[in-house]
Amino acid sequence: MTEMITRPRGTRDLLPDETEARRAVEVVMRKRARAYGYREIITPAFEELGLFTARSGEGIIDEMYTFTDKGGRKMTLRPEITAPVLRCYVNEGRSIPKPIKWFYFADCFRYERPQKGRYRQFWQFGIELIGANSASADAEIIMVADDILHASGISYTLHIGDLSLMRYLLSDLSPAEQKMIRTFLDKRNLEGACDYLRERGHHEKITPLQDLTAARSIDELFAVLPDLPERERILQMFSILDSQGVRYTIDPSIARGLDYYTGMVFEGFAEGLGSENQVIGGGAYRLAHLFGGTDTPSCGFAIGFDRVMVARGDLQPPNRPRIFVITTKETQIQGLSVARKLRDAGICTETDISGKGFAGQMSLAAKVAEFAIIIGTEHAGKETLLIKDLLTGIQEEKPLSAVIDQVKEGR
């Protein structure tokens, strides 16, 4: 016997119920993004390796699916989509009026240890706002994120910070020291950051760092950094969010770990996911110049779609009533015509394709549908149809138009 071939580790087969549930959430996310003027973009599933090492450094190579193509070029399956979108902007979009509002939904690939909500093939939904540099742009990105997460049906909290806070506090440290502190904070290791400052002889920074990371209000932020140059911009951003009812937690400890982030940063955490509970991350950044373009302010975010679905805890597809048309040999053609009219009305309709008898069709209909239309010999040529509610057992004779109305309106 031939050995069974199984799916690759870290991937999934998404069966119809789960796929339909995911598609329904996709539709909601796309709809909310379009409501703010964002339009969908599609980029290649693989790119040149240098696109991602220019963004994240050589250390990311071990986490990617890389290969050399037949032309000797080093390529990789995309591990994320922000860099491809900015590469596309540099290649194709520099003449488009700014700000450019793009969104994407696509699968990505990373070679890492699979765990709950984290796979080697995973999906991201994201927004990129290119060519805007203002408190209003920062606020809009957070508002879109909040809107989409709310519409997706999960419980979550948003944490918002700004890298200018930490950059100002640590401005007299070397770039390498600042990066090390950001690395500690990105891993939520404040104690490690304080130990590092102590080892490097920067004892005077420890208390201000502790006070800043503990700040949870505007007043507490500026009590630590009263002379922050970006003070007015930060105040304006939070004022806009407050005016629109966005709920958030001020969190100056957010570091985001990557050097290209420049100002506002934020993360979102969903309930019920344990330690792997981050479902969104983003902020203001500059990337275009790394890919041959001019230095262009941008901001955006990416949503871990798989984690959103786990947080929903609901893999049931949306309720879409299904009809099964049951016929005899003599009424088969009439049944096909009825089925076509139902499908044209947007109703999922099945007919027998296995040559089952009347009883076999009835048994199958009870398993796969909510309603059955029964066209027996006695119904041949009649303008009314016998429709049976397979859950309640109630059956009535109605014209086709009334059947359509009944199914669309529900029981």
**What does the pLDDT look like over 96-146, one tens digit per residue?**
999 999 999 999 999 988 877 679 999 999 999 999 999 999 999 999 999
Structure tokens at 136: 């209003």
Tokens of 228: 């922050």
Tokens of 276: 């792997």
pLDDT at 187: 83
CATH number for the domain that contains residue 359: 3.40.50.800
Residues 27 and 125 in one domain: yes
Beta-strand runs (E) in 85-151: 100-109, 121-130
Task: Give the CATH number, domain containing residue 48.
Answer: 3.30.930.10
User: For residue 194, what are the domain limits?
Assistant: 16-312
Same domain? 258 vs 295: yes
Beta bridge partners of 309: none
pLDDT at 280 over 90: yes
Q: Does residue 4 sit within a domain?
A: no
pLDDT at res. 188: 85
**The two structure tokens encoding residue 204:** 């005077």
Q: With b meaning 16 or more CB within 10 Å and e meaning fewer, what string describes 233-264?
A: bbeebbebbeeeebebebbbbbbbebebbbbb
Tell me the pLDDT tens digit for each residue of 307-329: 999 999 876 666 677 899 999 99
CB atoms within 10 A of CB 347: 18
Q: How far apart are CA 100 and CA 137, in angstroms?
A: 11
Domain final residue, candidates 263, 284, 312: 312
Q: How confident is the model over 196-233, as pLDDT tens digits? A: 999 999 999 999 999 999 999 999 999 999 999 999 99
Residue (of 254, 274, 273) closest to 265 by Cα position: 254
pTM for the model:
0.89
- List, in order, residues 6 or more apart from 356 with CB less than 8 Å away: 364
Tokens linked to 214? 């503990």
Residue type, 304: G
Same domain, 109 and 130: yes
The pLDDT tens digits for 347-389 are 999 999 999 998 999 999 999 999 999 998 888 888 889 999 9
Task: Give the model's pLDDT for residue 175.
Answer: 87
46 and 180 within one domain: yes
